[in-house]
Structure 1
Amino acid sequence: MKHFFDKGYKVLLVTDKRGNNFLNKYSKFKSFVLTTGTPTNKNIIKKILSLFVIFYSLLKSAAILRKEKADLIIGFGGYVSFPISIISKFFNLPLVLYENNLILGRTNKYLLPYAKKILLAKIIKENFPEKYKGKICEVGPILNKNIINCSNFKKNNNKENFSILILGGSQGAEIFGKVVPSVIKMIKNEGYAIEINQQCIKNQKGSIIDYYNKNNIKN
């Protein structure tokens, strides 16, 4: 956002409550909050409720576009980007997608037919629809300048001090909570004094902490 803002463009952000919290120190950016979700992996009642929430977010997205008169929509994946991206087609607005992962996300995969271009952090070699490969443009990761200009990482072979940070999914990936702890234990058994900081979903937190404590892994 700051990149485009500094170049003189009017930039609007459509996000959820969590994303909007990060804008507190960027008061010059205008934002809109959508409440949305996914009907997948839910029971029938929650599926129906999710569909109503999505329908409402589509109506709100239409109101935002009608009021703000946007010229271009950029979707960064995630459920919150779906309503504004799909509604953009009813306003004949060009849609550009960005995918930061090596596996195409569900939202971006669904939106591919409607996108002018899809920007990739790195070329996706598997399970990318062949008929949409002409839309690909590899641009690399989108990072803050403070991260880009950070000094190069120096390899540390000191087994007495080894720290690992695990991030996965917008709120932590469930599969990481199942697989990663045993892998960390294997690394510890190789003689590394590990400190682990792991993002996880709420209902896994207790069992993951217990596992690390039981195996004397600092966390």
Structure 2
Amino acid sequence: MSEMKPLIILAAGGTGGHVFPAESLASELLSRGYRLALFTDKRGGTYSGVLGELETLRISAGGVAGRGFFGKVRSALSLGLGTFQAKRLLGKMGPSVVVGFGGYASVPTMIAASLGGYASMIHEQNAVLGRANRLLAPKVKRICTSFEQVDHIGEVDAKKIVFTGMPVRQNIIEMRPTPYTPLTDNDPIEILVLGGSQGAQVFSDVLPEAFAKLPPALRARLHITQQCRPEVLEDTREAYKRNGMNATLDSFFNDVPQRLAKAHLLIARSGASTCAEVTTIGRPSILVPYPYAIDDHQSRNAHAIDEAGAGWLMPQEAFTADILAERLEALFTEPQTLNNTAGASLNAGRPDAASRLADAVEELIEV
């Protein structure tokens, strides 16, 4: 009889940025024969895909820092209760490794793992260590990162860093072999605009006017696909029509990998998943960080892409129709710049991130 593989606990919940890498790691670890379970918070919905197939245990969790006195009290009580629940469950299950993916939903489980002496690690999706992971960093044995340089990691904890990259969906990885199509003088110019899970109002405000300012010959070549907030979808469509342009608009596209592979240029927010996906496929991007993100982590993400020559950071305050039109005209009339940036983007991608993350887990089992 073959020996039973060790049990690994994943602690994740909240936004897709935390859940996507957990799902990718789960797929990789299952393919290696490991047993898995998911710890998440009680407010989370039912997960689909691989995570939906795992044994799921829900515990109490609260924000790392509540708002106001009573908010802080409620958060502390939720954190204490969740830690107690997680410690009791870990004691019954006896995992070999506990892996956290940031966000408040992971905090009680990771604190309980530390108190129980279990091998543990966290994965940070952004180029800034999130507040939950900052709390957990001193308590874990490994800190896996999506970017080579990550802010807010102390000198002592820096020794724990393992650069793995940000895992992406399998259907993104499948598009990586698709070559970038160089622009010629008469080709259609494929532009994809993504605004994150909620869409981005600023893109609807700025892009129709910016595209309209391009010379007529360039404007006629544009093929625009844009994600919009549902409430501004029709207004954005009308704005394009007023400027004599057609665009494919929707609040959600279920074929983003294919559209991204076809694109000559991506215009998007700079969440961790977007940065990982565009570099996995290898496409140039203009990244406009969400200016109100905690710790301005989207700016740090976009800066890393810009610094690698894989795209361009445009702060939202500089993202005006005039400035963008000038940038786009320069890119479309000097297409070699786009070609070179596409190559740098592909080079910056880490399609093996899930495998590297799973390797880090296995190293902890062996310690």
Q: TM-score, normalised by structure 2?
A: 0.48
**Residue-pair matches, total:** 206
CA contact (8 A) 2:62 2:74 kept: no
1:137 corresponds to 2:162: yes
SS in 1 for 2:38: strand
Choose 1 or 2 for highest CA Rg. Answer: 2
SS in 2 for 1:92: coil
Root mean square deviation of aligned Cα: 3.2
Partner of 2:81: 56
Amino acid at match of 1:117: R
1:167 corresponds to 2:159: no
SS in 1 for 2:162: strand
Map 1:1-219 onto structure 2 (within 5 A): 1-16=26-41, 17-18=43-44, 20-23=46-49, 26-27=52-53, 29-38=54-63, 40=65, 42-150=67-175, 151-152=177-178, 154-155=180-181, 162-167=191-196, 177=200, 181-182=204-205, 184=207, 187-189=210-212, 190=214, 191=219, 194-198=224-228, 206=231, 212=236, 215-216=239-240, 218-219=249-250
Q: 1:68 to 1:112 in 2, by over 3 A?
A: same
1:33-58 C-alpha deviation (Å, 9 max, x unpaired): 23423154624333332332222211
- 2 CA distance for matches of 1:159 and 1:212? 22
CA contact (8 A) 1:39 1:48 kept: no
- 2 CA distance for matches of 1:15 and 1:142? 19
SS in 1 for 2:122: strand
CA contact (8 A) 2:122 2:142 kept: yes
**TM-fit CA distance, 1:209:** 5.3
Q: TM-score, normalised by structure 1?
A: 0.74
- 1 CA distance for matches of 2:201 and 2:60? 29
- 2 CA distance for matches of 1:44 and 1:178? 34
- 1 CA distance for matches of 2:193 and 2:97? 39
SS in 2 for 1:74: strand
Amino acid at match of 2:226: I
1:164-217 C-alpha deviation (Å, 9 max, x unpaired): 12226xxx5xxx85755555456444445644325x7xxxx74x5587467448
Q: 1:67 to 1:164 in 2, by over 3 A?
A: same
- 2 CA distance for matches of 1:104 and 1:25? 24
- The unaligned stretches of length 5 or more in structure 2 are 1-25, 241-246, 251-367
- The unaligned stretches of length 5 or more in structure 1 are none
Q: 1:25 to 1:77 in 2, by over 3 A?
A: closer
CA contact (8 A) 1:20 1:31 kept: no
- 2 CA distance for matches of 1:126 and 1:39? 19
**TM-fit CA distance, 1:8:** 2.2
**TM-fit CA distance, 1:19:** 5.8
Q: Which has the higher contact order (CA 8 A, sep 6+)?
A: 2
